[in-house]
């Protein structure tokens, strides 16, 4: 495990191979000058305020997204243990308190390695987002994330579903190709979100941004059949 004061992005560093490439190498930065979200979005955090770290995995499970789910669950457990903040997961891999984002996870692959980067808001959060609190140590949160990771069961499927707040909700999934509205029914063993639309078609979503919608009586959403993987 390495802690640096400043870097561009802990994900970029571990992917570049300039740091340790040993399975489960951890890199934490007190500040990122080019922190990234998914789709090249920006991950914001003022110097020293939040927990920013990435883990490199070289032993990749058959379904690589399991690594992301494990890190998300470990971050959720650590947030409650260290700061008493109860969060839940939002598909594919955010941590929410209510509907406010507490943490985001970005998984990237390079050859034989998968890098899972996590940003947890500790001392600072942008407007509308959640944080753990002022007197919480980022290093202690990281230590607890790693401990919680080790304590996860071999089969995390049931635990992931139990804490996935997206399930059972009326959602809109936005992908580059389509927008799917419906009820989030389940997550497939491969990590796809199964969404039942108003026409009774179940869509399998590999990627996308989810908007949690309030269930409405007499929902008038149109039937959509332009999703990537209708079943």
Q: Which two tokens stand for residue 76?
A: 């959720």
Q: Which CB atom, from 22 or from 42, has the smaller least distance to ligand BT5?
A: 42
Query: Binding of ligand BT5 at residue 186 (CB under 6 A)?
Result: no
Query: Binding of ligand BT5 at residue 10 (CB under 6 A)?
Result: yes
Q: Which CB atom, from 53 or from 160, has the smaller least distance to ligand BT5?
A: 53
Q: Where do the DSSP E strands lie in the chain?
A: 2-7, 25-32, 51-57, 88-90, 94-97, 100-110, 113-120, 170-174, 179-187, 193-196, 202-205, 209-213
Beta bridge partners, 89, equal: 95, 164
For tokens 């389940």, name the residue.
Answer: 186
Q: How far is the CB of 1 from ligand BT5 (least distance, A)?
A: 14
Q: Which CB atom, from 25 or from 118, has the smaller least distance to ligand BT5?
A: 118
Q: Which CB atom, from 52 or from 145, has the smaller least distance to ligand BT5?
A: 52
For tokens 């870097």, name the residue.
Answer: 7
d(CA 172, CA 215): 11
Query: Binding of ligand BT5 at residue 125 (CB under 6 A)?
Result: yes
Query: Binding of ligand BT5 at residue 123 (CB under 6 A)?
Result: no
Query: Binding of ligand BT5 at residue 121 (CB under 6 A)?
Result: yes
Does residue 57 sit in helix, strand or coil?
strand
On whether the CB atoms of residues 121 and 50 are closer than 8 A, the answer is: yes
Q: Pick the closest to residue 203 from 186, 221, 222, 215 (CA basis).
A: 186
Output the furthest CA–CA distance in the chain (Å, rounded): 56
Q: How far is the CB of 20 from ligand BT5 (least distance, A)?
A: 16
- The residues in 141-170 that bind ligand BT5, with binding defined as CB under 6 A, are none
Q: How far is the CB of 223 from ligand BT5 (least distance, A)?
A: 28
Query: Binding of ligand BT5 at residue 25 (CB under 6 A)?
Result: no
Q: Which CB atom, from 14 or from 227, has the smaller least distance to ligand BT5?
A: 14
Using CB under 6 A, which of 38, 81, 161, 172 touches ligand BT5? 38
Between CA 202 and CA 211, with CA 207 as vertex, the angle to 5 degrees is: 75
Using CB under 6 A, which of 129, 156, 198, 211 touches ligand BT5? 129
Q: Pick the closest to residue 14 from 145, 150, 116, 105 (CA basis).
A: 116
Number of residues that bind ligand BT5 (CB under 6 A): 29
Query: Binding of ligand BT5 at residue 31 (CB under 6 A)?
Result: no
**Site residues for ligand BT5 per CB under 6 A:** 9-11, 32, 35-39, 41-45, 52-54, 94, 101, 104-106, 117-119, 121, 125-126, 129
């Amino acid at each position: 495990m390495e802690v640096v004061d400043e870097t561009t992005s802990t994900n970029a560093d571990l992917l570049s191979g300039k740091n340790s490439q040993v399975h489960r190498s951890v890199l934490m930065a007190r500040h990122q000058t080019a922190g990234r979200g998914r789709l090249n979005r920006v991950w914001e955090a003022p110097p020293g305020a939040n927990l920013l770290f990435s883990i490199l995995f070289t032993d990749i499970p058959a379904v690589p997204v399991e690594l992301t789910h494990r890190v998300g669950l470990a971050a959720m457990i650590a947030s409650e243990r260290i700061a008493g903040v109860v969060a839940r997961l939002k598909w594919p891999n955010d941590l929410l308190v209510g509907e406010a984002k507490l943490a985001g996870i970005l998984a990237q692959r390079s050859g034989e390695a998968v890098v899972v980067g996590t940003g947890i808001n500790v001392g600072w959060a942008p407007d509308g987002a959640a944080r753990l609190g002022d007197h919480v140590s980022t290093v202690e949160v990281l230590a607890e994330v790693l401990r919680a990771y080790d304590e996860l069961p071999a089969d995390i499927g049931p635990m992931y579903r139990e804490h996935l707040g997206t399930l059972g909700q009326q959602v809109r999934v936005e992908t580059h190709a389509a927008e799917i509205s419906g009820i989030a029914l389940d997550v497939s063993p491969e990590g796809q979100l199964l969404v039942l639309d108003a026409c009774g078609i179940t869509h399998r979503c590999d990627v996308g941004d989810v908007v949690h919608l309030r269930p409405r009586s007499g929902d008038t959403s149109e039937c959509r059949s332009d999703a990537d993987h209708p079943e």
